[in-house]
Amino acid sequence: MCHVFLNRGSYKTGRYSVSTAIVALSLLVLSGCVTSVTTTSSLGGAATGVSQSADSQKAAQTRLELAAEYLRAGNVTVALEEVNNALKLNSSMTEAYVLRGMIYSQRGDFASAEADYARVMRERGSDPDVMHNYGWILCQQGRYADGDVYFDKVLATPGYATSARTWMTKGLCLQAADKTNAAKQALLKAVEYDPNNPIATYNLASMLYHAGQVADAQIYVRRLNNSPYANAETLWLGVKIENAMGNQLGIRELGEVLSRKFPQSREFVLYERKAFYE
């Protein structure tokens, strides 16, 4: 089956806070979307009709893949145009409605997103990838409890209990709902199942820091800052954690990295001012 789903591997978003995680989580990919149509020349006119149908399906598939690529590149407007082109070629293409619903949600057009997902849920309501996406759409609207119900359904699906992307999204949704303890447990699960996930790692470290659990926060932020995903925001969080622990050497080391790699960043300005609590 062809699925459109949230990409657990696209993390290079620059920042990893809850607000920007929405962008990262809205990156979609297409997997296994190949249309196979068998024809035979002996069928004459019937074969021509099947061939035309196959051509339309292939063209729709190409448009859908282009839409996903444009969305991944952050060009939401063109992504929407391409997915609409795909639906003109094949109006019954469920995956296109899945993708368009996520595009609408990223644009803040939740009424249209809900309309597309109402159709998708009727056809594939038990699909864990669909439930995951719909849960995130609900969460973006502040319907945290409703979204969490769908995340729990995904995690109850055989083979999905260790889904790092769903644990992460559940954690971010709970965090937005100010359910700090539950959010922390979900993010811990996400990091357990995917230790290289920078969004989950950053938000977990930040939560631990604000809860006063600075030693635990240090473990996670150091892991992140020693990875290719380190950026000005992760380094600044590291500085604040080292400051809370009274580690002047750690502060200077991270400050040097900020100065060298991100001299124009807001975080470096804060570092120079020693504004550790802003």
Q: Could you tell me the residue ranges of all domains in the chain?
A: 197-278
Residues 89 and 52 sit within 8 Å (Cβ to Cβ): no
Four-residue CA torsion sign, 195, 199, 200, 203: positive
* Pairing verdict, β 3-6 and 28-31: antiparallel
DSSP-derived 3-state class of residue 37: coil
Four-residue CA torsion sign, 135, 140, 146, 152: positive
* pLDDT tens digits, 143-158: 999 999 999 999 999 9
Q: Has residue 40 got a pLDDT over 60?
A: no
Q: Has residue 234 got a pLDDT over 80?
A: yes
Q: Which of 259, 256, 254, 257 is nearest to 269 (CA)?
A: 259
Fold of 197-278: 1.25.40
Record the pTM.
Answer: 0.81
- Which residues are bridge partners to 31 per DSSP? 3
